[in-house]
Chains A and B, each alone.
Chain A
């Protein structure tokens, strides 16, 4: 089961730049490693992370095998209005994970 963590401040002033920290539990198998018997282990990674703020996309990232296991991504956005931040990860072998966090803007 996909396990993801999102850290967003619970409240912020209008116009303040907030930091969003995301972490997804995933081995990020590169596709370059071999087993003991010399067979190539197939690639299995998260390829994309999209962050939407009340339905508007504010951040998107494309991930490659060179990302460390359990990919951590930290980015920023401007707190414009109260609502929810929805994060969606997608990857190889049909991997999909979503997580949302709500923020109150005062």
Chain B
């Protein structure tokens, strides 16, 4: 239990933290977009990413961004000649774009994964699949988040 005296002692530190939020870059949107672009480029190595083949399932309206169930499945026969090598999940508004990278092979039998993610704010969620022939396919879903994850004090 925090006493009144302890609470008052915390005020200077809280004010200092407030200054930190005031120092956040005003171009945070542009920085996040650049970080997402850099992450996609790192995954693909500059190759084009085409929409299709990938199916990303995320609830369109998320009450609690701390636990968002999501699943990715890719339309692939999963043979040794034609299979999915990797599935990457990225978000647009998180402090870092990466969520998870899964590496599969022909022994997976079916290219589908499911997990739970943290999503900081209303925005896009992107799944990118790398196929064994070197092509990249993606699916993008826009989600609305009412309670943000990661930063409870709204430093987004």
A and B from one assembly? yes
Chain A positions within 8 Å of B, measured between CB atoms, are: 17-18, 30, 32-34, 36-38, 53, 56, 58-69, 71-78, 80
Residues from chain A with a CB closer than 8 A to the CB of B105 are 58
B33 at the interface (CB under 8 A from A): no
B95 at the interface (CB under 8 A from A): yes
**Contact status of A73 and B10, CB under 8 A, knowing A32-B150, A61-B101, A66-B96:** no
A64 CB contact (under 8 Å) in B20, B100, B116: B100
The total of Cβ contacts below 8 Å across the A-B interface reads 112
* Cα of A89 to Cα of B39 in the assembled complex, Å: 24
* Cα of A63 to Cα of B115 in the assembled complex, Å: 11
Tally of B interface residues using CB under 8 Å: 39
B98 at the interface (CB under 8 A from A): yes
Judged by DSSP, the binding face of B is mixed
* Cα of A55 to Cα of B73 in the assembled complex, Å: 26
Residues from chain B with a CB closer than 8 A to the CB of A61 are 100-103, 113
Residues from chain A with a CB closer than 8 A to the CB of B10 are 36-37
A38 touches B13 (CB 8 A): yes
Residues from chain A with a CB closer than 8 A to the CB of B14 are 36-38
B109 at the interface (CB under 8 A from A): yes
B115 touches A69 (CB 8 A): no
* Cα of A65 to Cα of B117 in the assembled complex, Å: 9
Residue of B nearest to A61 (CB): B102
A33 touches B150 (CB 8 A): yes
Residues from chain B with a CB closer than 8 A to the CB of A80 are 107
**Contact status of A74 and B113, CB under 8 A, knowing A32-B150, A33-B150:** yes
A75 touches B113 (CB 8 A): yes
Residue of A nearest to B88 (CB): A62
B131 at the interface (CB under 8 A from A): no
* Cα of A59 to Cα of B71 in the assembled complex, Å: 16
CB distance from B105 to the nearest CB of A (A): 7
* Cα of A75 to Cα of B153 in the assembled complex, Å: 35
* Cα of A17 to Cα of B104 in the assembled complex, Å: 14
